[in-house]
Amino acid sequence: MIDIKLIRENRELVKENIKKKFQEEKLGLVDEVYEYDKTYREYKQEADNLRFKRNKLSEEIGLLMREGKKNEAEKIKKEVTKINEEIEKIEQSEENLEHEIKTRMMVIPNIIDESVPIGKDDSENVENEKFGEPFVPDYEIPYHADICDAFNGLDKDSAGRTSGNGFYYLIGDIARLHEATIAYARDFMINKGFTYAIPPFMIRSDVVSGVMSFSEMENMMYKIEGEDLYLIGTSEHSMIGKFKNQLIDEKQLPIAMTSYSPCFRKEVGAHGLEERGLYRVHQFEKQEMIVLCKAEEGMDWYNKMWNYTVEFFRSLDVPVRTLECCSGDLADLKVKSCDIEAWSPRQQKYYEVGSCSILGDAQARRLGIRMKTENGNKYVTTLNNTVIASPRALIAILETGYQKDGSVKIPKVLEPYMGGIKVLVPKQK
């Protein structure tokens, strides 16, 4: 949610930003907010004037009562009663206007950074940089589900019976490799100075609406029937929510945390679920990083954070690239975002394994997260980034480490987490 001062002082800037995001249907909201806000402030001034008048009359009543002029005092009391009734009506109008303003402000997109490329959708995202050489071996790499099957490591049929499409059982060495990767990601981020956390896996609706846009919420979140609770789609949701309505001393900033959680997503939309494999599923596990900082430090943290993910995947010997998200692909709360994509030697192309975003003070403004400074209280800047989302990271490791004989080489950094195992040997061929 942007600062309403932007609409008061520079409506054209806000409208131009909406055009850059190809959301022309929202242009009218800017003028509506401007007019509602103008009326709201007029009502507020009128109410303040009436309160001032009421206070003066109350002082006069006290003086008359002390002088024994009860009849005159009673006349003024009636006037005060009328003023109170007027104030009550104005306050109701103010409340209605606040609701109308907030409803519109919640869907007006955040101001994007000037470096964001302009484009309508993800097809116009821009490659930034490649890290590591993409390779294609001289032998065929099977589909990742088939690699898992060779190790008796994946059972989607049973998961279909227990839970339906979009769920899975990981078993044996494959399950261990999956968890080894998560454990390594945890330690990797702790060694970068991030504080480790395991957050709640359910959050209330006021936190959901604070961390994401309504359209994202509708397509992603699972609602717990009969309760004001949602399953998280990423631990960023509950980690940012941790600071809801908090006033943080600026000396405590930056706050850098890394969190583990299972994640749950509807996966509604054009992409759909993957029938056989693990790329797009309803349930997965994730190591996340979040940062709360001062506005002037935001971009430095943004660049550090996506670089951490690149460094993490390169330590697994997985080639990656970064892809700058264009204006039309940015969620409404984001100022700037890039995807980290891993190389698939089987498909001979890159695929998304994580995303890094800076949101300015949009989430902080919605959730009331401020910092205390010598010059008053200010909203903090928030950022989030995926360390890994597995099983997508698992897919990258399986494909990258797949050998001609069907075995899978374990990345050296994961060997301690695998009990010293260097190579996985298939159970069946």
**Which pLDDT score, from 0 to 100, does residue 194 have?**
98
Report which secondary-structure segment, H or E, holds 186. Answer: helix 172-191
**Which pLDDT score, from 0 to 100, does residue 269 have?**
55
Q: How far apart are CA 108 and CA 17, in angstroms?
A: 10
In this prediction, residue 298 has a pLDDT band, given cuts at 50, 70 and 90, of very high
Instruction: Kindly report, as residue ranges, where domains of CATH 1.10.287.40 are found in the chain.
Output: 4-105
Report which secondary-structure segment, H or E, holds 293. Answer: strand 283-293
214, pLDDT greater than 80: no
The two tokens of residue 385 are 């980034």
**Which pLDDT score, from 0 to 100, does residue 213 have?**
76
Q: How far apart are CA 398 and CA 409, in angstroms?
A: 8
Q: How far apart are CA 122 and CA 142, in angstroms?
A: 28
**Which pLDDT score, from 0 to 100, does residue 69 have?**
85
The two tokens of residue 380 are 């903090």
**Which pLDDT score, from 0 to 100, does residue 233 have?**
92
**Which pLDDT score, from 0 to 100, does residue 58 have?**
86
**Which pLDDT score, from 0 to 100, does residue 217 have?**
73
> In this structure, what is the dihedral angle of CA atoms 411, 415, 416, 421, given to the nearest 10 degrees?
170
Give per-residue pLDDT as tens, 74-116: 888 898 899 999 999 999 999 999 999 999 999 999 999 999 9
**Which pLDDT score, from 0 to 100, does residue 272 have?**
58
In this prediction, residue 339 has a pLDDT band, given cuts at 50, 70 and 90, of very high
CATH fold of 4-105 = Helix Hairpins (1.10.287)
Q: Chain-wide mean pLDDT for the chain? A: 93
294, pLDDT greater than 90: yes
DSSP secondary structure string, 62-94? HHHHHTT-HHHHHHHHHHHHHHHHHHHHHHHHH
**Which pLDDT score, from 0 to 100, does residue 225 have?**
93
Report which secondary-structure segment, H or E, holds 264. Answer: strand 255-264
273, pLDDT greater than 70: no
Q: How far apart are CA 153 and CA 143, in angstroms?
A: 14
Give per-residue pLDDT as tens, 141-195: 999 999 999 999 999 999 999 999 989 999 999 999 999 999 999 999 999 999 9
390-406: average pLDDT: 95
Instruction: Kindly report, as residue ranges, where domains of CATH 3.30.930.10 are found in the chain.
Output: 122-424
CA 133 to chain centre: 31
Percent of the chain with pLDDT strictly greater than 70: 97
In this prediction, residue 429 has a pLDDT band, given cuts at 50, 70 and 90, of low
329-353: average pLDDT: 95
- pLDDT: which is higher, 427 or 102: 102
- pLDDT: which is higher, 222 or 427: 222
CATH fold of 122-424 = BirA Bifunctional Protein; domain 2 (3.30.930)
CA distances from 332 to 11, 100, 254, 388 (A): 17, 19, 24, 23
Give per-residue pLDDT as tens, 25-71: 999 999 999 999 999 999 999 999 999 999 889 888 888 888 888 88
270, pLDDT greater than 70: no
Using alpha carbons, select from 234, 233, 244, 260 the residue that is nearest to residue 210.
244
Please state the pTM of the whole predicted model: 0.90
**Which pLDDT score, from 0 to 100, does residue 237 have?**
94
Q: Which range has the worst mean pLDDT, 208-212, 266-270, 317-321, 341-345?
A: 266-270
